[in-house]
Structure formats: structure tokens, C-alpha cells
Structure 1
Amino acid sequence: MAGSTFGTLFTITTWGESHGPALGVVVDGCPAGIPLTSDYIQTFLDRRKPGQSKFTTARKESDSVEILSGVFEGYTTGTPISLIVRNTDQRSHDYSKIKDCYRPGHADYTFDQKYGVRDYRGGGRTSGRETIGRVAGGAIACRILEALGIHLTTYTKAIGPFSIPSDAYDYSAINENRLYMPNQKYAEQASAYLESCIREQDSSGGLIECMIHGMPSGIGEPVFNKLDAALAKAVMSIGAVKGVEIGDGFSVVSSKGSKNNDSFFAENGQISKLTNHSGGILGGLSDGSTILLRAAIKPTPSISQPQKTVNTNGENIKIEISGRHDPVIVPRAVVVVESMAAVTLVDLLMQNMSSRIEYMKQVYLGI
């Protein structure tokens, strides 16, 4: 299968299936000397693991990570880092009734059309559990970004119809509720809404927002590999994401140039912007201000309501999906969006090292 590796200089290759023995990732291109422990990576995986609340799947997985290579005495060695998370609570029999059906909203049909064979147990490689490798790799990327003074803040902006206005954010509340929303009042409203979805055997979508602080200007490429294009590709590669916005995003449709343009000003020798409608990216390059990215997450496709579909024989049937499924994917996807953004940034920062001869002189000649 092609397409399981992401990145150019800093790469992650994820592997494994939802109901296989394990999942994991191989991270290559990580510099030596980065402090790294399994406990640090585990803090990221704990944000996406199942069973956090009644709004996530009841599958009991600790998602405990093991470092198999690339780390010695608490520091990266510059060699490939291999990470593994073992599956311990598979219930493959939950899927036996639908092994010959194409579930609405899933990749069953398209996967079958491409390969002619598929692992029907939880979707195999198309399962949300594939993101374990992304998050583990993203934790390493975040460690590198920390060393460069770059930090990401990611949270749930909206669930269903409940969207937090930007002037009502309370970032201290993000980790105080299981929905990772920066406003406790909206988190309570969204929770009540999700309760109604559960009663109706339905699911909800939502919006994730990621802020990137401390990015230097000039990172990215001005043509095909623009920073915003690279971020969009990375985030759109997450299974449940159906749309990506940068800055004002789709609201620019109703804007005007006089409003949408960010005016520059100089102070103490530093150039800054009065506004940030661009979301920190101009011409495909970072402009030194906060990068603002949003990802639209679709409702969980596995619902218990009767749905029309077809089986592998081409017969029209109805199915009701049983098993353990999230009524909303959004809270667990927050750290996945953050991880893919972090991997993208590290890769482009590395590529930027060769954009000027001065940078190479600083590294190799110390001038």
C-alpha cells in the first residue's frame, strides 16, 4: 500500500490495523540530542485514547507506547525511531454481521474497489486507530518545536450547532472538560446536545481550531509546497476531516480587500501586522504572526439507526451497526490535528535550512 509515509526530510510512516496485534510508526529524520521518553509520548496518546468519557467509544485500550529504537539514555540518536502500541481489547465478532456489507460513510466500498480485499474488522487501515501512529510521531515533532520556541494550542471550537465565539475563549478550560472546549458553558451545552444524539442513536460533527505560536517568518514554499497547502494536505489526510480553513477561511467570500488585507507596521525594528485575517501565512510563507488553522470533522458514520446500503453481491439491504463507537469524533481528533500540523512544520523548517547560503555558513562555519 502506497501513501503510508508523510514528509520529505522529517518523515513518519504509520503501520498496523484496528484489530491487528499492534499499530505504530517509524519516525525518520529526527535530529540527535532531543530529550524523549515514552512518558512524554504517552501524554499525547492519552488525549486520543478511547474510554475517556461517555462521548467516546467504550473500547478499553490503554494505548501504552513502547520505544523500540532511536532513543538511548533518554535522548534521540538520529536513527529511525520505531514506536509500537499493542491492541488489547479487540472484539472482531462485532463486525461479523457486516463483513459482506458496505457501511454508509465508511471506506468499505472504495477500499474494496481499489484492492479487491479488505479487513472488515473495524475498517483495518481506514480505522481511526491508524491515527495512533500519527499522534506518536506528532509528539516527537512537538518536542522538536519546543526546542525552537514554537508551541501549538489546539481545541474544539464547535460541536454541532454550539460554536464558541472567538471573544469568549478561556484557554484554561480546555483540559477541564472532556470535549476540550475553551469555554465551560459551551462545553456543557455541547454535552447536552451529544446526550440527545446518543438517545436518538445518532452522531455529531464539529470544528477543531489550532493556533501555532512562535513560527518565524519565511517558512514554506511560494509555489506548490506552500505552508498553507502543506498544512491542508496533512490535516485533510485525517480520515474524518472534510474541510480546512486558514485564517478567515471561507468567510473571505463576503469580505472586501480593504478589510481582508492585513496592514503592516514597524516598531523597534520589528515588522508586524495590525490584524491577522491571513492566518499567519502570506504567499505560502509564514509571516511571523500566529498561524490559525481549522478542521471540519464529519459526524461519526457508525450509528445504530437503520440505514440503506448494499452488500458485496450488489443487493439492496438495510443494516444497523452495533459495537462500540464514538457519538462524536471531535474531542479525540484534537490531538491528531495538532500532531499532523506539528509534523508538517518540522519538515518545512528542516527544508528551510538550505534556503540561504548564510544558514549553511552558520551551521558549518559558525559565521
Structure 2
Amino acid sequence: MKDMLLIGLYALVSGAVIATGGAIALRLLRGRSILVHIGVLLAATVIAVVSGVVTVAQAMFLSAHDLQVVLITVAASAVVSLAVGLVFGRRLATSAVWAAQAEAQERKAEAGRRELVAWVSHDLRTPLAGLRAMAEALEDGVVHDRESVAEYHRRIRVETDRMTRLVDDLFELSRINAGALRLVPTMVPLADLVSDALTTVAPLAASRRIRLVAAGTGWPVVTASEPELARAVTNLLVNSVRYTPPDGTVHVAAGHDHQDVWLSVSDTCGGIPEADLPRLFDVAFRGERARTPAHGTDLSSAAGGGLGLAIVRGLVEAHGGRVEAHNIDRGCRFIMRIPAVTA
């Protein structure tokens, strides 16, 4: 019994020494990654066990052969334990990183939703106040002449169309975020699709004296869902027209690039600050302080609420593609890329 107590004391002391060293190492490495901490913890545990076994084996006065067998067995077990522990530790560290990234993305998404609600509230509250004032003026007979009444009616229609477009954008964005888009891929000639989009945007461009130019040749055919792709192209055109100064130019082109079909919309907006480029396609992001389109813009034709480019990104990514923006001479260029064949 006395020998057993002595052997236990040897094992306890050796294990305590190694455990203390491991604790000190963990404290010194507290700023490192979780994988480093797991490695140190595993190493301290395995070394503590090995040292305890070796100490006990020596205290038992084993023969040289038996001691060698014990050491080889313990060493092999230690290597296997460390290897298995590091594999699972790496997986645990990866899972922790993913969890942290997911949490960060969720916080960013929540902040984006709060910002979106604030901006949309502004974009709805302002025209609603104007509509109410104009409706009360008409109801109370404040305006009498036919020209003023007609102007009030026109402004009410414009503001109503603007709010309708904003609600449509919110609904489309909610479908994208919820994964509820139901794409029906067909063979879509980009020449016809762009022609229809230019026709839609032409009144807005004319009101701002902006020239719309389309490349003459090289229009490919892409496999995509036509309504969603048409909306993405129209939103890009509207965005370029809205931010291009009067007498500017918006140019549209398309072609093949490796395995992708690309479509570009270039304008003469004067360029985008480099700090704004990474956020252009974020929900409710606008690069200017004003939250309303420029004076003279047909509000019903513009994508309100800062949602137009966010919808473009969502629709393009739903097709397995991507959209990007670059500064060019005197303006910027938006490029949509969609795989030549999409599911």
C-alpha cells in the first residue's frame, strides 16, 4: 500500500507540473487563434499522461526491455492522440470561425434592415404628406383654375406611381432574400431585351437630355428568366440615367467572355468615389446625401428607396452570375455576367 501511494504521488506531481506549464502557455497565447489553444491543451494533456506513465514505470524498477516497451507504447499512443485531437480541433476551430462569420453577417443584415426601414419610411412619409396637402387643397377649393388643378392631379399621379414602384421593389427584394424567386429559363436574345428596356427608359432619359446608345452588333443569346433579367437591365439603365448629368450619354453593350455572357451599362456620371464602390449594391445605399431623385426626374420611372442596384445583384446572383462596377473615363461602368447556360 505504501508503494502504491508513492507511485500515485509521483504521477500526480509530474502531471501537475505539466498542467501548470500548459496553463502558463495558454495564458501567454491568449491572443492567438482557437486552434493554437486547442493544440496547447492537447499537448499538455498528452505530455502529462506520458510523463506520469514514465515516472511510474521508472518507480516500479522495470527491466530495460519492459521499460522500452512501455515507452514505445506510450509514445505511439501520444502521437495518435495528438493527431486525432488536432484533426478534431481544426474542425472545431473552423466551425467557430464559420459561426463568428455567420453572426457578423446576421448583425450586418439586421443593421441593413433597420436602415432600410428608416429610409423607406422617409421615402413614403414625404410623398404621403405632399399627397395629403394636395388632396386637401383640391377638396377645400384652394386652387380653382384648370391649369393648377391639372398640375395637382399630375403630381398626385406621379407620387402615387413612385410609391407603387417603391412597394414593388420592396416585394421583389423580399422574394430575393427569402429565396422565393421562381426562375423560368428560356433562350433570351439580349438585343430584343435591351431594346425593350431602352424604350422603357427613353422618356426619363429625354426629360434629362441624356442620349441612350446601344452597340450595333455582337448581341448574344443567354439562357435566363426573361422577366427578372429584363428588370435587372432596366434598373441598371435607370440608375445610370438618374446619376448622369444633363446632356450626358449612357451606352449599352454585350458579348461573350470565356464561359459567361456579359452586358455592360456605361455612363458619364463623373465617376464614383472609391470608398462607395464596394457598397453600391447594398440595400438602401446611396452615394449622395439627398434621398430623393434629382429635380425634373420622372419619379415613377426611377427605382426608389436605394433598392434598384440591390435588386440587380439579387436577380443576377439568382442566375448564378455576378455584377460589378468600375470607374472609367468621365463615368462608371456596370457589368453583369451570367453563365452562358444557367439552370
Q: Same fold (TM over 0.5)?
A: no
| More relative contact order, 1 or 2 (CA 8 Å, 6+ apart) | 1
Higher helix share: 2
Tell me the TM-score normalised to structure 2 length. Answer: 0.26
**Which structure would you say has the larger Rg?**
2
Tell me the TM-score normalised to structure 1 length. Answer: 0.25
Higher strand share: 1
